[in-house]
Amino acid sequence: MDIQYFASLWSEGKSTHASGKSFWNNRAAEFNKLVCQGSPDERIKKLVKFLLHNNLLTENSSVLDIGCGPGRFAVEFAKKCTDVTGLDISDKMLDFAVKNADAANLTNVSFENLNWDEVNLEGHNWEKRFDLVTAINSPGIYDQITLEKMCDASKGYCFLSNFVNRSDSVHEIIRTKILKLKDVKFYANTIYSIYNILWLTGYYPSIAYVDTDREHIRTIEEACIYYGTLFETDNNSDNEKKDLIRSYLEEIAVNGFVTEKVRTKTAWIYWKVKS
């Protein structure tokens, strides 16, 4: 099996809709809730500790965070290192990111409204510019080309996080039982393919696995907006889809709130780039 085999395997069954700007703009407020709870959640703390322990992140590091969203990781990185650049396709995500950095009184973090696909490393003076390049559950790294660009931007290490398995109790029922859609695992074969592409390219990636259980509690109205956004590009008509989703959420709500239990197994893969 060669690199082309794993590149093809990586792309099998993948949908392209989630990479659209409007999709992420519509989810910005939901994502930002995780940042606005005060201190970072345990997953963020654990990831930052992991990077520090493995000397991927140091006080002298310059970091590029691809698909930074509302800046929850970029803000924490900036508290530990010299400078951080976050980029994201969503301007609404970045509006939150700037506010979150300001709230933390950080002056060493900046944000760029860019699609990683379209970034010209030479034009940005980003070739071998960063000590650490991260992509944390980011759809921006989706093929061999975008993966190689990560390596080209780093003069030290790359770090990538992605799901190996995920169970969302409400989301899965809506997709398969309510809307009768195929249960697509967008992360299928991702880490397996990335590891093998890196290995065959001459890198020596390391992997750690993290299990997480958490709950998301939303009002019925918040849940209708959230799940409606997730399925906005699927084939049901908008009105039909919204009615089906609302009916189910009202059925399972307790005292006006919908609780979703999320269980994930995430892979953290990192490697030292070639000099």
Instruction: Name the residue with tokens 């703390």.
Output: 45
Rounded Cα distance, 222 and 185, in Å? 24
pLDDT digits (tens, 9 = 90+) for 40-75: 578 889 999 999 999 999 999 999 999 999 999 999
pLDDT at site 100:
93
For the chain, counts of helices (H) and of strands (E): 10, 7
Are 130 and 63 contacting, i.e. CB atoms less than 8 angstroms apart? yes
Q: Residue 25 — pLDDT band, cuts 50, 70, 90? A: confident
pLDDT digits (tens, 9 = 90+) for 158-208: 999 999 988 888 988 988 888 888 766 667 789 999 999 999 999 999 999
**Chain centroid offset of residue 148 CA:** 18
pLDDT at site 34:
62
The tokens for 81 are: 């290192």
pLDDT at site 19:
55
Radius of gyration of the chain (CA): 19
pLDDT digits (tens, 9 = 90+) for 147-163: 999 999 999 999 999 99
pLDDT at site 59:
96
pLDDT digits (tens, 9 = 90+) for 240-273: 888 889 999 999 999 999 999 988 899 999 999 9
157 burial via Cβ count (<10 Å: 0-12, 13-18, 19+): buried
pLDDT at site 1:
78
Residue 112 φ/ψ, nearest 5 degrees: -125, 130
Domains and CATH numbers, the chain: 3-167+185-215+264-272 (3.40.50.150)
Mean pLDDT of the chain: 88
pLDDT at site 36:
52
What average pLDDT does range 65-92 have in this prediction? 95
pLDDT at site 15:
55
Are 110 and 102 contacting, i.e. CB atoms less than 8 angstroms apart? no
